[in-house]
Amino acid sequence: MKFDNLFEAAAKEFEAAFTRSTQGMRPDEIGAPREEQLRQFLSDWLPPQYGITNGYVISRKKEISRQCDVILYSRYTSPKFI
């Protein structure tokens, strides 16, 4: 298996997602396809102990991020919020 070929294919998929997203008018129409492509790439390559999702990040000072972000977390040590 040649990793160069795999990463070249992934780069083409990222480029296609980037091109498709330029047709959007709102920020979420532009960013969402790009973030989905990144989440898919990470989920294909990271070990299963890591989770990838989207959401808002809350700091220790209770500040909430202004946009929905790609979030990478440990499935074993991250607290669950219900």
Average pLDDT value for the chain: 83
Q: What is the pLDDT of residues 41-61, one digit of tens each?
A: 888 889 999 999 888 888 889
Predicted local confidence at residue 45, as pLDDT: 84
DSSP 3-state of 59: coil
Residue 27, pLDDT above cutoff 70: no
Contact predicate 33/21, CB 8 Å: yes
For the whole model, what pTM was predicted?
A: 0.66
21: pLDDT confidence band, cut at 50, 70 and 90? confident
Instruction: List the one residue out of 13, 21, 20 whose CA is nearest residue 37.
Output: 13
